[in-house]
Amino acid sequence: MLYKLFRSYINKTDPELAHKLAIKFIKNPLLSGCITSQTSYENLNQNLFNLKFVSPIGLAAGFDKNAEIYNYVNKLGFSFSEVGTVTPEPQLGNSMPRVFRLVDDRAIINRLGFPNDGMEIIKRRMKKNIPSGICGINIGPNKKNATLVDDYLLCFDEFFEIASYITVNISSPNTPDLRLQHEENKIIKLIEVIQQKRTEKNSLVPIFFKISPDLEESEIKNLCEIFLEKNIDGLILTNTTVKNKQNLISHFKFEEGGLSGSPLNVISNEIIKKFYKYVGGRIPIIGVGGVSNGKTAFEKIKSGASLLQLYTSIVYEGPFVANNINKELSYLIKENGYKSISDVVGVYCK
């Protein structure tokens, strides 16, 4: 009831103001009274990257940009969260308005451009409130340095000791030229310098790369060959898309920016299948895009994702969406004759 009243209010407000209110809501002690159970499902447990995930559902980067709620979301059913994207220097991002709700499409278009408090402030905030669970840090460059590697190294230096994993964001469509990092010579250099930095620090922190959905088959094949050769730890598939807007219903459909939510679901599943075809189980995949219930989660896992992340479905389904997905997904795994989630991963590709 508390959330229904809250949602009726925030859905009438500016999306960015609504997001700030949602952060406050999640941090509010009254939220605990709204949760009737925090059931654990044994068939959802996985051990990946030397980490124990009690469920596959994680909070995607972009929601907790400035490291405010990573220690609160576990009570909502998330087994991990991802802070950021964090850049070396604080930045305001792109001009407003820059977030648009496409309600009829169950989608969002954003052109935020990595607004965040910067790595030093966020690091201090996290040191005062050490993550109690699995918490990744998504790192990216300031706008002026989008095609360089130095900003990634600065952020890695700042967070490798506190992060459960580091995500290297090369795929946001809202920082000009950032997606050029997908090019062969650039991605090879980026992987090599970050892995070298990790070696220098005597760190074992897993490093993931977050990839665009707007890739051709030949680009995917080439990237997979590089990722396998360089033995990267994990892939996050996918970021938002700048394509496939013509069939949307909302009048916001042609706004510039990345599209997330329900329309991205099938697109990301196809990309996941293609990557899984080339990397198999050798590089675990974290699937993102359109996860909103047990069925969409089940489909993405069958496409090749071992873990999942969501963001937009919180807007449309509410903060308890992860708890609901866990319950539905556990049932679907049993109903379809599987013993555990690990048995489901990539069945469409086998």
Question: Could you list the active site residues?
Answer: 172
Q: How far is CA 333 from the centre of its chain?
A: 23
Q: Which two tokens stand for residue 1?
A: 């009831």
Residues 124 and 237: their CA atoms lie apart, in Å, by: 30
In a 10 Å sphere around its CB, with 0-12 CB exposed, 13-18 middle and 19+ buried, how is residue 41 labelled?
A: middle
Close Cβ partners of 137 (under 8 Å, ≥ 6 residues apart): 82, 83, 84, 86, 155, 159, 162, 163, 165, 166, 167
Contact between residue 168 and residue 152 where contact means Cβ atoms under 8 Å apart: yes
Phi-psi region of 290 (alpha: psi -120 to 50; beta: other; left: phi over 0): left
What is residue 244's DSSP assignment?
Answer: -
Residues 230 and 233: their CA atoms lie apart, in Å, by: 9
Residues 299 and 346: their CA atoms lie apart, in Å, by: 10
Contact between residue 246 and residue 263 where contact means Cβ atoms under 8 Å apart: no
Contact between residue 299 and residue 269 where contact means Cβ atoms under 8 Å apart: yes
